[in-house]
C-alpha cells in the first residue's frame, strides 16, 4: 500500500432520495461534473483511507467536479432492510445530482454501479454527458446466451461465504485485486472497507439483488457517448461481458487493459485515467436527445361507474405517480411514466381501489423509447403490444414484460411468469409476468396459492421447473418428483412443507390448476381439453379440484371471461 499523503477530505453531506438519506461528497476543480457510482458496497468516508484510491480521485478532480455517494443500504447512507431495485438506486443518482445543482454529468460506474449508470443513461439521456464504466456486467446469473455469469451453485457458495465468513479469509478478496494480494496493508483496508460498507445481512441482500440484475434489454436504448473499460483477466467480471455490452450499445467504445484487477484504482491506473481524460475531452457537452426510455401502462375497465368518474379516478392515480394519460377512453386508457416502478405502483393501487367499487380492471405494462410530449408517441408497435398483451390479460390482472421484471426484481413486487407474445422487432418470444405486491402479512399458504415464491430459493425453483415439465403426465407424483430432484420422499416432503406450507401433492395440484386457469382464460380450449392437457384423469375430477381451489367452476370462469372480452373494445385513435 502506498504511503499516506496529506489531503483535505471533503465533508460528508446528506440528501433525501424518497425517504432514504443518501450520503455524498463533492470535490475537484474541473469544468464539468462527474458522478462516481461505486460497485456492490461502499463507504465514502473509508475510501479516503486508501492512498491508491485517493490518488485516482485527485486526478479525477483535475478533470471534473467529482460527486461521490453511497447507494442506499450501504456505507453512510440509510441501511434499508428490504431489497432495493435497480430503479430505486437509479433515483439516488438523480437525488444527489439535484442536491449539488448538477444539471448534467459524466457517469462513472464501477461493476454493479455500471448497471445502475446504464439504466440512468437510457432513462435520462439529457442529464448525462457521457457514460464511462469499468468492470461492468449485464447480468449476474448464468444462461446459455450469457455463459460468463456465475451459475446458481456458484452464487449459493458466495451467499454462504458472506453469511458465514463476511470479509474473512474464505471470501478470497484478493481475487478482486490480484496485484495487491501480497500487500497486507491494502488487503486489510479492503476488508475493512467492505465491512464498513455493509453488515453481513445487508451484504447478502445486496448480493442476492445483484443476482436478479439484468440490463440486457436496456442496452439498445443507450444513446449517450459510452466508454466501456475492462481488464483482460478480471476474475470477477469476465472480459467477454464487457465486449458483449459494447456490442449492444450503439457506437460505444470498448477498451481492454492488461491485468487481472477488478478494482480500477490499482494496477495500470495511469492508462485508465488517460483513456477517461481523452474520452471526456472529445465528448460534446451540448447534445440534446429528443427520445428517452419510458414505461407505458394501459388498462381496460369494466364497471357500472359513470365513465367520467372512472377516468377521474384513473387520472388521479396516474398523476400521483408522476405519469401522464396520453389516450383517455371510456373503457380503456394509456398512460406514460418515466420509470417502471411508478407505473407498477400506480397499477397496483389503482387495481386495489377499483376492486373495492366492484370494478374489473386489467392492465399491461411495457417499455419503449420515444418523445413523451410528441403527438405521435404511440405508433404501430404500441398498437401491436397493447393488442397482443390485452389478449393474454385476465380480469383484474396486471401483466408486465420481462424488461420490467428485470429492473424491478426486489422485495416489493412479485413477478410470476404467465405467458408469452411475439416481439415483432427481435422475432423472439417476449415473456409476460403476472405482477402482484408482496405482502408481509400473507401466510405461506397464500403466497404459494398466488404463486409469489421467493425469487432466491433455487430449491423451489428446481421443484417448480420439474413440475412444469410434467404437467401433462397424470402419473406424475411425489415419487417421480423426488427422483428428479434427487432426494428422498421424506426429505422432499419436509423441505417443500417448510418452504410453502404445502405437501408435495398439494403443490403439484395447485401448480396444475393455476396453469389450467391461465389456459382457460387465454385460449379457446374446452374444459375437457384443459383437464387432460394439465394432467387430470377426468374432466369431472378437474372441475371438482378447480372449484375447491378457486371457488368457481371452470365452465363458469370461461363463460365469464369470454363475456368480458366481448364487452371490451380497444381503440387506438
CA distance 503 to 141: 30
What's the DSSP call for residue 140?
A: S
Q: Where are the alpha helices (DSSP H) in 124-183?
A: 152-165
Domain 291-438 fold: Alpha-Beta Plaits (3.30.70)
What's the DSSP call for residue 207?
A: H
CA distance 376 to 441: 44
CA distance 505 to 512: 11
At residue 232, the pLDDT reads: 97
Average pLDDT, integer, range 505-531: 80
At residue 260, the pLDDT reads: 97
Is the C-alpha dihedral spanning 98, 100, 105, 106 positive or negative?
Answer: negative
CB neighbour list of residue 482: distance below 8 Å, 6 or more residues apart? 488, 489, 491, 492, 504
Phi-psi region of 237 (alpha: psi -120 to 50; beta: other; left: phi over 0): beta
pLDDT per position as a tens digit, 21-71: 999 999 999 999 999 999 989 999 999 999 999 999 999 999 999 999 999
CB neighbour list of residue 391: distance below 8 Å, 6 or more residues apart? 522
Against a cut of 0.85, is the pTM above it?
no
290 compared with 375, residue with greater pLDDT: 290
89 compared with 43, residue with greater pLDDT: 43
The three-state DSSP-derived secondary structure of 31-88 is CEEEEEECCCCCCHHHHCCCHHHHHHHHHHHHHEEEEEECCCCCCCCCCCCCCCCHHH
Phi-psi region of 259 (alpha: psi -120 to 50; beta: other; left: phi over 0): left
pLDDT per position as a tens digit, 361-417: 899 999 999 886 666 788 888 888 998 898 889 888 999 999 999 888 665 788 888
Q: Which residues pair with 69 in a beta bridge?
A: 24
At residue 430, the pLDDT reads: 86
**What grid cell was written down for 143?**
444462461
Asked whether this chain's domains 291-438 and 455-573 adopt the same fold, the reply is no
Q: At what angle do helices 489-500 and 504-522 cross, to 10 degrees?
A: 60
Domain 13-282 fold: Rossmann fold (3.40.50)
Residue 560: is its pLDDT beyond 50?
yes
When mean pLDDT is compared across 10-19, 177-186, 259-268, 447-456, the lowest value belongs to 447-456
At residue 270, the pLDDT reads: 97
DSSP SS3 for 433? strand
Q: Are 72 and 20 in contact (CB under 8 A)?
A: yes
- The mean pLDDT of the chain is 85
At residue 413, the pLDDT reads: 80
67 compared with 501, residue with greater pLDDT: 67
When mean pLDDT is compared across 230-239, 321-330, 420-429, 506-515, the lowest value belongs to 420-429
Average pLDDT, integer, range 498-508: 82
Where in the chain are the domains?
13-282, 291-438, 455-573
What's the DSSP call for residue 288?
A: -
Q: Architecture of domain 455-573 in CATH?
A: Orthogonal Bundle (1.10)
pLDDT per position as a tens digit, 530-552: 888 888 878 888 888 888 888 88
**What grid cell was written down for 260?**
487481472
**What grid cell was written down for 507?**
403443490
At residue 446, the pLDDT reads: 37
CA distance 352 to 357: 9
What does DSSP say about strands 32-37 and 64-69: parallel, antiparallel, or unpaired? parallel
When mean pLDDT is compared across 250-254, 549-553, 555-559, the lowest value belongs to 555-559
pLDDT band, very low/low/confident/very high, at 186 (cuts 50, 70, 90): very high
**What grid cell was written down for 408?**
424491478
When mean pLDDT is compared across 188-202, 207-221, 454-468, the lowest value belongs to 454-468
**What grid cell was written down for 364?**
399491461
Rounded percentage of the chain residues whose pLDDT exceeds 90: 45
pLDDT per position as a tens digit, 414-435: 888 888 887 766 667 888 999 9
**What grid cell was written down for 416?**
410470476
Residue 452: is its pLDDT beyond 60?
no
557: closest CA among 569, 538, 570, 542? Answer: 542
Angle, vertex CA 32, rays to CA 26 and CA 34, nearest 5: 50
What does DSSP say about strands 128-134 and 226-231: parallel, antiparallel, or unpaired? parallel
Q: Which residues pair with 257 in a beta bridge?
A: 231
At residue 312, the pLDDT reads: 82
At residue 573, the pLDDT reads: 40
pLDDT band, very low/low/confident/very high, at 359 (cuts 50, 70, 90): confident
At residue 22, the pLDDT reads: 96
CA distance 154 to 96: 35
At residue 110, the pLDDT reads: 97
Amino acid at each position: 500500500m502506498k504511503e499516506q499523503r496529506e489531503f483535505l477530505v471533503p465533508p460528508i453531506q446528506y440528501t433525501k432520495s424518497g425517504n432514504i438519506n443518501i450520503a455524498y461528497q463533492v470535490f475537484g476543480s474541473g469544468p464539468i461534473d462527474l458522478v462516481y457510482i461505486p460497485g456492490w458496497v461502499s463507504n465514502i468516508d473509508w475510501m479516503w483511507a486508501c492512498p491508491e484510491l485517493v490518488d485516482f480521485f485527485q486526478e479525477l478532480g483535475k478533470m471534473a467536479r467529482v460527486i461521490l455517494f453511497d447507494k442506499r443500504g450501504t456505507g453512510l447512507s440509510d441501511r434499508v432492510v428490504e431489497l432495493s431495485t435497480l430503479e430505486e438506486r437509479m433515483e439516488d443518482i438523480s437525488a444527489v445530482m439535484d442536491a449539488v445543482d448538477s444539471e448534467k454529468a459524466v457517469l462513472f460506474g464501477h461493476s454493479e454501479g455500471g448497471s445502475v449508470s446504464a439504466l440512468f443513461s437510457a432513462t435520462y439521456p439529457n442529464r448525462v454527458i457521457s457514460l464511462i464504466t469499468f468492470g461492468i456486467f449485464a447480468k449476474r446469473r448464468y444462461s446459455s446466451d450469457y455463459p460468463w455469469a456465475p451459475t446458481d451453485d456458484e452464487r449459493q457458495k458466495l451467499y454462504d461465504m458472506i453469511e458465514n465468513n463476511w470479509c474473512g479469509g474464505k471470501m478470497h478478496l484478493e481475487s478482486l485485486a490480484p496485484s495487491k494480494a501480497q500487500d497486507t496493508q491494502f488487503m486489510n483496508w479492503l476488508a475493512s472497507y467492505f465491512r464498513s460498507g455493509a453488515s453481513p445481512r445487508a451484504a447478502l441482500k445486496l448480493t442476492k439483488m445483484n443476482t436478479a440484475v439484468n440490463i440486457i434489454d436496456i442496452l439498445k436504448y443507450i444513446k449517450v457517448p459510452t466508454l466501456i473499460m475492462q481488464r483482460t483477466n478480471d476474475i470477477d467480471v469476465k472480459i467477454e461481458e464487457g465486449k458483449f455490452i459494447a456490442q449492444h450499445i450503439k457506437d460505444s467504445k470498448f477498451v481492454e487493459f492488461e491485468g487481472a484487477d477488478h478494482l480500477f484504482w490499482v494496477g495500470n491506473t495511469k492508462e485508465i485515467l488517460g483513456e477517461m481524460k481523452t474520452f471526456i475531452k472529445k465528448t460534446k457537452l451540448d447534445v440534446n436527445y429528443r427520445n428517452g426510455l419510458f414505461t407505458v401502462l394501459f388498462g381496460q375497465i369494466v364497471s357500472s361507474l359513470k365513465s367520467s368518474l372512472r377516468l377521474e379516478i384513473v387520472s388521479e392515480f396516474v398523476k400521483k405517480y408522476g405519469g401522464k394519460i396520453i389516450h383517455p377512453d371510456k373503457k380503456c386508457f394509456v398512460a406514460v411514466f418515466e420509470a417502471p416502478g411508478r407505473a407498477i405502483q400506480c397499477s397496483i393501487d389503482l387495481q386495489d381501489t377499483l376492486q373495492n367499487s366492484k370494478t374489473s380492471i386489467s392492465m399491461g405494462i411495457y417499455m419503449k423509447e420515444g418523445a413523451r410530449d410528441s403527438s405521435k408517441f404511440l405508433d404501430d408497435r404500441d398498437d401491436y403490444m397493447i393488442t397482443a398483451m390485452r389478449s393474454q390479460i385476465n380480469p383484474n390482472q396486471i401483466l408486465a414484460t420481462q424488461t420490467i421484471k428485470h429492473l424491478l426484481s426486489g422485495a416489493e413486487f412479485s413477478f410470476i411468469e404467465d405467458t408469452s407474445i411475439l416481439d415483432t422487432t427481435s422475432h423472439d418470444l417476449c415473456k409476460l409476468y403476472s405482477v402482484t405486491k408482496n405482502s408481509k402479512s400473507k401466510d405461506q399458504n397464500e403466497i404459494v396459492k398466488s404463486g409469489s415464491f421467493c425469487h432466491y430459493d433455487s430449491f423451489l425453483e428446481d421443484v417448480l421447473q420439474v413440475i412444469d415439465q410434467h404437467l401433462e403426465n397424470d402419473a406424475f407424483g411425489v415419487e417421480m418428483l423426488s427422483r428428479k430432484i434427487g432426494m428422498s420422499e421424506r426429505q422432499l416432503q419436509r423441505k417443500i412443507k417448510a418452504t410453502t406450507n404445502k405437501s408435495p401433492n398439494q403443490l403439484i395440484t395447485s401448480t396444475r390448476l393455476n396453469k389450467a386457469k391461465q389456459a382457460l382464460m387465454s385460449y379457446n380450449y374446452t374444459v375437457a381439453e384443459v383437464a387432460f392437457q394439465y394432467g387430470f384423469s377426468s374432466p369431472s375430477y378437474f372441475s371438482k379440484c378447480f372449484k375447491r381451489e378457486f371457488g368457481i367452476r371452470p365452465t363458469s370462469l370461461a363463460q365469464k371471461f369470454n363475456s368480458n372480452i366481448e364487452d371490451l373494445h380497444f381503440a387506438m385513435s
